[in-house]
């Protein structure tokens, strides 16, 4: 495994694809929160700063297409039953639609965005293999799948000589740890599946912007994000805010921002190939990219101190039983 402390790129799982440790996610911020000019400038600064992984965006970067990695997700499409899910029909048509919107000939990775109980796993794996054989995508991955589903897709790919998934996209931050720290490392060692993680700042919660309430310009105040506001006001949310305040003191000690500490903490995890950043301006982007400098300060005693503070380190029952 590459030493992340001195490299800004590494392999995606055990595939041959090299991705930057930090990628640009565009789920909320592009299209709804920021204007085209700012989006363009964020993309350009990211690319010029060594970011090569763009999680679905119109890529404005002036670089050659072969110098960056673009991904897209398939699941939600139109209103009709046939325009969503992971049927062969929707995977192929959905990806074609995505390519025409992105004005690209191919994406590097196409993600099956959540699993679909209505589509047989063999159909999904065959359709993903087909779009790769057709040159519409280079690799495929999963998003929000559990370990059992990923393992099933891998086994079917091996059984029928099809293409297996190379990575899982999972939510990962201080308060969401089990999947990335317990279940995915096992898959990484067994079948080489890497992890691309999203929401390192838990929708902005970890930056401290909600410590004194919900600012009007924040994501929790946006239409369609009432769930975030509710989460902040719950007992669990208040408990998390108290922990966040303590983590801020720790960030001060390290001479970094709370956001940089939170992102570096995600990057330290084994099997995490890339952490996707969600930013709405170039200042935020540059601040977040500074987390690579903080990574080298995260030594074992400091990680242990953070684990005590968070009080939620996942326990591996299998390993404990062995010892």
Residue 218 lies in a domain: no
pLDDT value for 218: 67
From the centroid of its chain, how far is CA 195?
Answer: 8
Please, is 103 exposed, middle or buried when counting C-beta atoms within 10 Å of its C-beta (0-12, 13-18, 19+)? exposed
Residue whose entry in the numeric block shows the structure tokens 């903080």: 294
Mean pLDDT value across residues 205-223: 73
pLDDT value for 152: 98
Mean pLDDT value across residues 35-40: 82
Residue 222 lies in a domain: no
DSSP string, 272-292: EEEEEE--SSHHHHHHHHTHH
Q: Could you tell me which of 222, 197, 195, 212 has the C-alpha nearest to residue 29?
A: 222
CA distance 210 to 70: 32
Angle at 307 between CA 298 and CA 205, to 5 degrees: 85
Tally of domains in the chain: 1
Residue 184 lies in a domain: yes
Residue 216 lies in a domain: no
Q: How confident is the model at residue 323 (pLDDT cuts 50, 70, 90)?
A: low
CATH code for the domain in which residue 201 is found: 3.20.20.100
**Tens digits of per-residue pLDDT, 53-82?**
998 755 545 578 899 999 999 987 777 888
Mean pLDDT of the chain: 89
**Could you give the residue numbers annotated as active site?**
60
**Percent of the chain beyond pLDDT 90?**
67
Domain that holds residue 86: 9-208+234-321
CA distance 67 to 125: 27
Mean pLDDT value across residues 234-239: 86
Positive or negative, the CA dihedral 122, 19, 301, 257 is negative
DSSP string, 33-75: IB-HHHHHHHHHHHHHTT--EEES-----SS-GGGSEEEEEES
Residue 101 lies in a domain: yes
**Tens digits of per-residue pLDDT, 127-176?**
999 999 999 999 999 999 999 999 999 999 999 999 999 999 999 999 99
Residue 227 lies in a domain: no
Residue 110 lies in a domain: yes
pLDDT value for 2: 45
pLDDT over 60 (residue 1)? no
Residue 226 lies in a domain: no
State phi, psi for 103 to the nearest 5 degrees. Answer: 55, 45
């Amino acid at each position: 495994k590459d030493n992340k402390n001195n490299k800004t790129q590494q392999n995606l799982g055990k595939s041959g694809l090299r991705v930057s440790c930090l990628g640009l996610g565009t789920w909320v911020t592009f299209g709804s929160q920021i204007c085209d000019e700012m989006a363009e400038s964020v993309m350009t600064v990211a690319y010029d700063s060594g970011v090569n992984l763009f999680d679905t965006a119109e890529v404005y970067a002036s670089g050659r297409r072969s110098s960056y990695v673009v991904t897209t997700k398939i699941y939600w499409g139109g209103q009709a039953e046939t325009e969503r899910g992971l049927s062969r029909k929707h995977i192929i048509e959905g990806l074609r639609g995505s390519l025409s919107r992105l004005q690209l000939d191919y994406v590097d990775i196409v993600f099956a965005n959540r699993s679909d109980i209505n589509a047989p796993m063999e159909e999904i794996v065959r359709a993903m293999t087909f779009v790769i054989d057709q040159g519409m995508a280079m690799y495929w991955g999963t998003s929000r799948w559990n370990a059992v589903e990923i393992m099933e897709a891998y086994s079917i790919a091996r059984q029928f000589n099809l293409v297996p998934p190379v990575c899982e996209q999972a939510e990962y931050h201080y308060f969401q740890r089990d999947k990335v720290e317990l279940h995915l490392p096992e898959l990484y060692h067994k079948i080489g599946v890497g992890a691309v993680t999203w929401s390192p700042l838990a929708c902005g919660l970890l930056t401290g912007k909600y410590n004194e309430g919900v600012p009007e310009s924040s994501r929790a105040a946006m239409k369609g994000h009432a769930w975030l506001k509710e989460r902040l006001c719950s007992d669990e949310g208040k408990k998390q805010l108290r922990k966040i305040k303590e983590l801020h003191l720790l960030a001060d000690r390290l001479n970094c921002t709370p956001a940089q500490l939170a992102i570096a903490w995600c990057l330290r995890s084994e099997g995490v190939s890339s952490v996707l950043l969600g930013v709405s301006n170039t200042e935020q982007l540059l601040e977040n990219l500074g987390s690579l400098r903080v990574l080298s300060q995260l030594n074992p005693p400091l990680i242990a101190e953070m684990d005590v503070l968070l009080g939620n380190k996942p326990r591996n029952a299998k390993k404990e039983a062995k010892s």
